[in-house]
Amino acid sequence: MSMILRVIVHDGDIRKVVIPEKPSDVDALKHVLQEKLQVSYSFNVQYEDPDFSNALCNVSDINDLPERATLKIIPLSTSPSSSQADTVILSGSDTSEKLSAERQSEWPEDFEIPKFSVNVEYRLRQGNLAIMKDATYLNVGRDIKHDILETLARAMYNFKAYPRDEDFAQVAAALVKAHPCLSEPGSSTGSAGWKNSLKFKMANYRTKLRKSGCSDVAVEGKRDATMDSVLKKGIKKPRRFELNFLPNFPNGENEESQERTRVELQEEMKKRTRNMSLIGQKMDSTFALRRKEIIHSEPPVCEILEKWPALFTENQIFAEFSRISGKNLRSEFYAALDTHSARLIEIFRKKGGNQGKTLHDILRQVDSKVFIFYVDCCHL
C-alpha cells in the first residue's frame, strides 16, 4: 500500500514524497525519508494528528499514519543549536577547524548551558553540593575557567558571531544559575565577572576563527594582516537580524564547484523545469557563493536576476529570507502588520468615495466576525 506524504523539512522547504510501499516501522520510515530527501543528519519525525486538531505528535507507531499525512522533520542535536546549524568546532590544540553549514536557529529566550569536560563537570557537581551544604564557593582554577569559557564561546557562536551586551549577561546569569558554586559573592548580580570574561573569550575565539579562514568573522574593523584584501574591502558587521552574514562554503565544496552548481541551476530555470524540490536543494547548497557575490561585489539587481533566476521565484524569496535570518517572512510580515491594524482600520473608516465604500463593506464583515468571536468567548 503506497503512502503520499507532505514533508516539512523546514519553513522554506516543504516537499511531496511518494512511498510505493508502507514502511514496516518508524526506523524504516526514517531511512526512506533520508534517501528521498537526501539528508545526512539524524532526525525524529512528527505528524499532524487529526485526533488533536492536527497538532504535531511524535511518530511512535507506523500504523498511526494515514495514507496521506503531513510530517515534520525534527533534526537531532547534541548542542543548543540544530544539527544543521553546527558552524564551527575548534580542536583542543586550535590547529584544526571544521567550518560547515550555516546557522538555522535564532538566539534562544532561555540559553541552555552546554556540558563541559568530564573533569570540569565532576568539579562543578562537587562545588554545587558544597554550596548547598555550607555555602562554600568553588575555587575556580585557571584550567576550569578556560574550559568553561571556551565551551560557552563555542555554544554562543552557534547562534551569533557578535553577541550583544545583554546576550553576554544572559549567558553569565544562566551559568551561575545552573552552577551556583560559580556565583561571585562580591558582585551585585553574581555573574558580572563571568560576563566580562566571556566578552574577552568571544573576541579571542573570533580571532582564532579568522586566522583559520572563517569568512563569517572576517568583518571586524581590526583586521588580521594575513586576511585577503578582498575580504577587507567595505565589509561591515552583520546586522542584528542576520544569522548568516557570510557563511563558509559547505564541507567538500569550493567556489569552482559552487559555480558549476549555479550554472546547472541557471540552465534548469531556463528550461522551466518542474522539479522545484531539486532547485530548492541547489539553492540551499549555493547559499554561501551567493552571499559572497552580493556582499563583495554588490552587483545590480539585473545581474543577480540573470545569474540567479530561481532566487526570484516566490518560494525561494521566502527561503532566502529564512536562510539569512532564520525567520519566516510571512509570519514576520503579518506580525508586524498586526501592530498597525488598529490605526489602519481607523484610516479605512475615514476613507470616502468608491474605495471607501468597498472598505466599509469589508470592515462590516470584520466587525460581524469580531462580534461573533466575542459572543463565543463569553459563553466559554
pLDDT in tens, 171-190: 999 998 999 888 888 777 88
Identify the bridge partners of residue 330 per DSSP, sorted by sequence position. none
Domain at 3-75, CATH from 3.10.129.10, 3.20.20.100, 3.30.1180.20, 3.10.20.90: 3.10.20.90
User: Would you state the pLDDT for residue 63?
Assistant: 84
Residues in the chain: 380
* DSSP run (H or E) holding 147: helix 142-157
Q: Three cell numbers at 281? A: 536543494
Confidence of residue 370 (pLDDT cuts 50, 70, 90): low
Report whether pLDDT(78) > 60: no
Question: Which sequence spans correspond to the domains of the chain?
Answer: 3-75, 84-232, 255-325, 332-379
Confidence of residue 149 (pLDDT cuts 50, 70, 90): very high
Asked if 46 and 87 touch (Cβ cutoff 8 Å), the reply is no
Task: Please give the backbone phi and psi of residue 126, each rounded to the nearest 5 degrees, phi first.
Answer: -65, -40
Confidence of residue 170 (pLDDT cuts 50, 70, 90): very high
User: Would you state the pLDDT for residue 277?
Assistant: 67
User: Would you state the pLDDT for residue 169?
Assistant: 92
Encode burial over 58-94: b for 16+ CB neighbours within 10 A, e otherwise. Answer: ebeeeeebeeebbbbbebebebbbbbbbbbbebeeee
Q: Is 73 helix (H, G, I), strand (E, B) or coil?
A: strand
